[in-house]
Structure 1
Amino acid sequence: MRLPPRPWHRPREPIGPLVDIVFLLLIFFLLAGTLEPVLPLAVAPPHATRPGVPLDGPIRVQLAADGRLGLDGQVVSDAALATAIGARLAGTEPPPAVQVEADGDASSGAVLDLLGRLRTAGAERLALVTIAESPRADD
């Protein structure tokens, strides 16, 4: 008895090695990438017409519109901020820059008061974070 020949099917490609490669790449990018820490305060910086100069490794201080203060991802009081800034700046040469991220709705008096307190605590280099405005078409 003669049976009809089976139809030819292309052999299936094994996808196991491909899945392994994808997972290895995923793990690599998760380990190699740096994630920005979640800030404790919702701060929307004011707009500026000129871009600022980026800083390397600054101390980050946040000022919310309601006057609350944050230091490197944690809410702090006025006294704790001065103590922590003084301790972080002591004994470092050159002292690191202090990056102030003030909310656009914070009063200018509160921002100037904070900058003065940071200078008193020993900060020599201060930078105020702003958002660069895009140029207007009529300029």
Structure 2
Amino acid sequence: MIGQRRHFQVAHRPRNDDESILPLINIVFLLLIFFMVAGQLSAVDPFEVEPVESAVDGQPGPDEFMVIVGTEGRLAVNQDETDLEGMARLVAEHLQRHGDAARVRVKADGRAEAVEVVGILERLREAGVERIDLLTVPET
């Protein structure tokens, strides 16, 4: 037994073409799932807004308090359309939760009337907001 060669026969199955494509199908499905999940990460504004251009670049965080000012007096707070009274109520709640660290970001449409935007900024100041960021788009 020692030193003797043994010959084992290995049973070979006929090669199936479907087996070679299974890893490719798995990868395609994983990529599909990845892009479906990644596509849900960015929030969409409730109406079209074209921000003002700026030379400074800054990105808002996902949990920031955001006021969106559109054309024709449209207003939204944190992706929900509202009016000035609703904005004042939500800002007051935000100030109670965050106190002195409260920060409000304003994203105004570049086509909106400057008087409207300034009026909303003044309402935010009157409500007690000390830190207001006006979001813009970097110049190209």
Give the shorter-chain TM-score range.
0.7 to 0.9
Number of the residue aligned with 1:80: 86
CA distance in 2: counterparts of 1:30 and 1:79, whole angstroms: 37
Q: Among 57, 64, 75, which residue is 1:69 paired with?
A: 75
Q: Does the CA-based 8 Å contact 1:58-1:96 persist in structure 2?
A: no
Query: Structure 1 pair 51/18, CA: closer, same or farther in 2 (3 Å)?
Result: same
Residue in 2 that maps onto 1:45? 51
Residue 28 to residue 106, structure 1, CA distance change in 2 (3 Å) = closer
Q: What is the 5 A alignment of 1:1-139?
A: 12=17, 14=19, 15-31=21-37, 34-48=40-54, 50-56=55-61, 57-92=63-98, 95-134=101-140
**Cα RMSD, aligned residues only:** 2.3
Larger deviation, residues 88-97 vs 113-122: 88-97
TM-score, length-scaled by structure 2: 0.74
Identity %: 35
In 2, distance between residues paired with 1:52 and 1:21? 36
Match of 2:81, SS state, is: strand
What is the SS of the residue equivalent to 1:47? strand
| Aligned 8 A contact 1:61 1:98 in 2 | yes
Structure 1 unaligned spans of 5+: 1-9, 135-139
Q: Which has the larger radius of gyration?
A: 2
What's the CA shift for 1:115?
A: 0.6
Distance 1:37 1:55 in 2: 11
Q: Indicate the structure with greater helix content.
A: 2
Deviations 1:24-56 (A, max 9, x none): 3332443356422221121111122x2144343
Deviation of the 1:118 alpha carbon: 1.1
- In 2: Cα distance, 1:54 partner to 1:126 partner: 14
In the other structure, the counterpart of 1:137 is none
Q: Provide closer, same or farther for how the CA distance between residues 23 and 102 of structure 1 changes in structure 2, counting only shifts above 3 A.
A: same
